[in-house]
Structure 1
Amino acid sequence: MKNNILIILKIVFILFISNTIYLNAQNTASIKEIKGIVVDQKTKAPLVFCNLIIDGSNISMITNNDGEFLLKIPKNYIDGVLIISHLGYEKKEINISSLENKTRITLVPAITELNTVNIMAKPSNPKSLVLETLKKKSSIYNNNNTLMTAFYRETIKKRRRNASLSEAVVKIHKQPYYNLRKDKIELIKARKKTDYTRLDTLVLKLQGGPFSNLYTDIIKYPEFIFTEESVNYYDFKFDKSTNINGKLVYVVNFKQYKTIKAPMYYGKLYIDAETFALINAVYSLNVKNKALSRDLFVRKKPKKANVYPTKAAYRVNYRIQNGKWHYAYSNIQLTFKINWEDKLFNSVYTLNSEMAITDWEIKNSKIVKVKNKMLYPTTILMQRASGFSDPKFWGEYNIIEPEKSIESAIAKIRKQLKKA
């Protein structure tokens, strides 16, 4: 498939080039920080990818893989309400003034009741439902020029050990969903650190940076997964329905037909039963065919290395505000195995990138052009930033709370910098 999302995610195997520093100071006096964890009320298990939104604003955050969050709240919202929601759980509202740092929030699993009305109203053809969902971009999604603030994190692991960390705050100049113009991204702040002793003489770089995550927006960029031609190569089936915020959500499973040999996707689509809006999508690439999968990813590699992907997983979440849906969060995880001709053991690298919308505003005028800070789909973020020395680097910007393994790696980096 020519229009394939993985073309945007090609991996470049090249030696690292020196980087520049891009730093800015922020005033933190006008914010309140709330750090906490969201867990299941019964099992006490951390809840991943929970949405946290300040009611009456566009300020939001998402929990990490440990269920943890760090939310920076402007003083003018201290007397407001924090809304916490998660697919399959009842929505919870908490007065912000009652929240303390290191707070623990519990969510109650929601019971999906499929009454007679819901059963009768359920579409009989899951493929038709998906096609109808893709057609909704002009009616139920945000069709204004929108300036979004987002936090982006990119990590590279060799086996289980973090080898490289890159983070950035970006401004997304989001085009209306109804038109075909591509979104633009402006770099605001960024930093990175790489431990080359863990990468041998090889560095893996994720080409595209934040664009890779932005292009998982299936509604804005359906051509990367469901083209008019490729949609006929998928087998769609209904799964057990669920709910979010008390609303019924259809779950559609999809996978390529067995007769299709080219690498395609499989996963789940979560579709709002009332509006047919795509709420969430979790999917992966079929990488069973090593040769064909490799060709989708690898641009350059050493002659003595056989490189192929063993995992390519994606997630995209949408959020509704003022009756309109918009892109809110996405996560990409790519795992590669490298077999060297002259080495006994192979190398396994995992590249993970995630981006969360933390604030946004409607722009009535055309998207502004900022030439000197604009990023491009060919951008390799690691070449644009350096340094983890300042723990207060982000200031008032909301960021995704680091997972424990990443937090530990950052702590080691800071110790190394202090010794230096």
Structure 2
Amino acid sequence: MGRNCCFTRFFFFFLVTIYAQEGDDATRGRILDVETQEPVVFATIRIKGKAIGVISNQDGGFRIPPRFREMRDTLVISSMGYQKKEIPISGLSPEHINIIRLAPGVLNLSEAIVTGRKKRKLSAKQIVRRAIANLQKNYPQKPFSTIGYYRDYQLKDGNYVNLNEAVLEVFDQGFSRLDSTTTKVGIYEYKRNADFERDTLADDPYDYESLQKIVDNAYLSGYGGNEFSILRVHDAIRNYNVNAYSFVNRFDIDLLKNHSFSKDNSTYLNGEALYTVKFRRRSPNYSAFGTLYISPGDFAIHKMEYTLYDDRKRSPDRKLNKHLGNGQLIFEVTTEYQRHANRKMYLNYISFNNSFILWEPPKFRVDYSTIDLKRNPQGTLTDFRLELVFNRIPNADEVVDVKNYSVRYQGKPLKIKAAGHIDEKVFLLPDITQEERTTMMREIIEAREKELDFKQLFSIEVKPIYDVEGNRLHEWKKRNYNQFREYFVQQLKPKVDLPNEGEFMNRRRPIFEGQPISRPENFDDYWMNTPLKRLIQ
């Protein structure tokens, strides 16, 4: 056939409701693929005619405040690879989670792209090169703002942990200006969501000195800013002329030279056919996989996905990763832009997910050690024994076995003849002569008069015994987490100037600690798309 042909399978949806939602009068929904039953992640759900909405969560979930039902509004749902669909909110249950099943569209875009004058074939690399060359033309160079829902959280065993949420307005001075120094952020509202589990250790900053919380075999810099600033840096399209992340680095220079490219089946978004360009990089220790979705007309980039793996490590569950490899995830970033009526591309959402290791302090440990002195009724020192205090009750058989202790006195080995315990306390009796005992007691008294520390006389090492609950002494446990930072645009203002009044977020201070709050008069137009407590797969 001598022309482009698009074949789209008949599109339909099913709407059903499941179990009641606790403590929330919002309309809830989940968007699923009708064929795979998998969540349609990051689908755009807009209020028709109001240019405001939300993005679906990792489980396809979303929530709409009750006022939109009362106004009998309509939802417009769109997602890459699916046809746009309109659903009246009045047709959704206000009491249950509404399951909306969408059928993927099938679209074939031939190798030949009609330019209006002639057909031309472009390689995958040529397509990307043109997209980079057209960045300044396709993306806004003048000031604009986006108002959206920000959150950061961790996933642990399918549960959201340390969920922090905010509604922000981001004043971007345009792609011709450096994002990290010119963009300002106004905070409408923020909160640490106490309805979700809080894990104080996992919530701490990354610590590359003690190594208690780290991105394994990688370094996640704070870039001089807070969690939202870290997220902004990882938008490689917005920050195309600065270093974003490995191995994209500087998008306009390094993307092409650091990766190999190939064309995949074309896809479809809101009636527009898009190139799908896959790219990858392999090195001795790392592998990276990316996808770009690009308009064939003006070569605007609609979406970018990038995943980096450490091939020296296996994933904690020992399963293949989603790219069918064995490597452990280091980070994954997805950025989507949408075309506005002025033909410029503006951010729709960005999601950044990195794995990290948290070393959990030992549950069973020695709290302190000391000398238990024995005196007669006249107050004269007659004997002593060493005392250890555990924080938990130790295993009775192991704790009285003298082979489990290595004791030194002033650097010299000290033999122990017996051990006993009462609950968490353990007493060690030195195996020494009476003459040695007298000498040691005199030296202990002298040390106390000089206020010397116990450890300057005695050192006690305990072998890895267990407590009564099976916790090993002084054992640090490694826990694997995934950290997410996400920003979903609810409204775009394509023409806006920085307000003359009001305070902006201090990017060097944690976003949820003592930041200024400034709410506009129409604050109720925006909301937090708080997810269900457990991620539904």
TM-score (norm 1): 0.70
- Secondary structure of residue in 1 paired with 2:350: strand
Worse overlay, 324-333 or 64-73: 64-73
Aligned to 1:49: 42
Change (3 A) 1:74 1:146: farther
Aligned to 1:374: 505
2-side partners of 1:141 and 1:77: how far apart?
Answer: 37
Which residue identity does 2:263 align to in structure 1? F
**What are the Cα deviations for residues 135-180 of structure 1, in whole angstroms up to 9, with x where unaligned?**
3233233344222211111113456554422111111002223444
1-side partners of 2:69 and 2:477: how far apart?
Answer: 57
> What is the root-mean-square deviation in Å for CA atoms of aligned residues?
3.6
Aligned to 2:154: 156
The correspondence for 1:276, drawn from 293, 296, 299, is 299
1:257-296 matches, within 5 Å, as 257-258=282-283, 265-288=288-311
1-side partners of 2:255 and 2:202: how far apart?
Answer: 39
2-side partners of 1:201 and 1:245: how far apart?
Answer: 40
CA contact (8 A) 2:302 2:336 kept: yes
The correspondence for 1:59, drawn from 31, 52, 60, is 52
The correspondence for 2:482, drawn from 350, 356, 370, is 350
2-side partners of 1:72 and 1:216: how far apart?
Answer: 30
Structure of greater relative contact order (alpha carbons < 8 Å, 6+ residues apart)? 1
2-side partners of 1:280 and 1:137: how far apart?
Answer: 13
Aligned to 1:397: 526
- Secondary structure of residue in 1 paired with 2:253: coil
- Secondary structure of residue in 1 paired with 2:226: coil
1:134-213 matches, within 5 Å, as 134-157=132-155, 162-180=160-178, 182-192=182-192, 198-199=199-200, 203-204=204-205, 208-213=226-231
Is 1:242 the counterpart of 2:267? The answer is: yes
Change (3 A) 1:202 1:53: closer
Which residue identity does 1:203 align to in structure 2? D
Is 1:93 the counterpart of 2:86? The answer is: yes
2-side partners of 1:395 and 1:359: how far apart?
Answer: 13
1-side partners of 2:138 and 2:89: how far apart?
Answer: 30
Change (3 A) 1:161 1:88: closer
1:232, distance to aligned residue in structure 2 (A): 0.9
Worse overlay, 398-407 or 114-123: 114-123
1:210, distance to aligned residue in structure 2 (A): 1.8
CA contact (8 A) 1:310 1:336 kept: no
1:130, distance to aligned residue in structure 2 (A): 1.5
CA contact (8 A) 1:279 1:317 kept: yes
Aligned to 1:298: none
2-side partners of 1:374 and 1:84: how far apart?
Answer: 32
Q: Which runs of 5+ in 1 are unaligned?
A: 1-31, 291-308, 386-393, 408-420
1-side partners of 2:177 and 2:191: how far apart?
Answer: 33
The correspondence for 1:220, drawn from 217, 222, 238, is 238
Aligned to 1:332: 352
Aligned to 1:300: none
1-side partners of 2:41 and 2:168: how far apart?
Answer: 23
**What are the Cα deviations for residues 78-108 of structure 1, in whole angstroms up to 9, with x where unaligned?**
4664321111111112345555535443322
Is 1:71 the counterpart of 2:64? The answer is: yes
CA contact (8 A) 2:149 2:528 kept: yes
Which residue identity does 1:372 align to in structure 2? E
Which residue identity does 1:84 align to in structure 2? I
1-side partners of 2:131 and 2:273: how far apart?
Answer: 15
Change (3 A) 1:134 1:161: same
CA contact (8 A) 2:78 2:270 kept: yes
1:45, distance to aligned residue in structure 2 (A): 3.6
Change (3 A) 1:335 1:114: same
**What are the Cα deviations for residues 12-32 of structure 1, in whole angstroms up to 9, with x where unaligned?**
xxxxxxxxxxxxxxxxxxxx9
1-side partners of 2:535 and 2:44: how far apart?
Answer: 21
Q: Percent identity?
A: 22
CA contact (8 A) 1:316 1:330 kept: yes
- Secondary structure of residue in 1 paired with 2:132: helix
CA contact (8 A) 2:165 2:193 kept: no
1:327, distance to aligned residue in structure 2 (A): 0.5
1:266, distance to aligned residue in structure 2 (A): 2.6
TM-score (norm 2): 0.56
Aligned to 2:413: none
1:219, distance to aligned residue in structure 2 (A): 2.4
Q: Which runs of 5+ in 2 are unaligned?
A: 1-24, 207-221, 314-327, 362-473, 516-522
CA contact (8 A) 2:307 2:329 kept: no
Which residue identity does 1:127 align to in structure 2? K
2-side partners of 1:67 and 1:158: how far apart?
Answer: 18
Aligned to 1:14: none
Q: Which has the larger radius of gyration?
A: 2
Which residue identity does 2:136 align to in structure 1? S
CA contact (8 A) 1:51 1:60 kept: yes
Change (3 A) 1:106 1:189: same
Is 1:319 the counterpart of 2:338? The answer is: yes
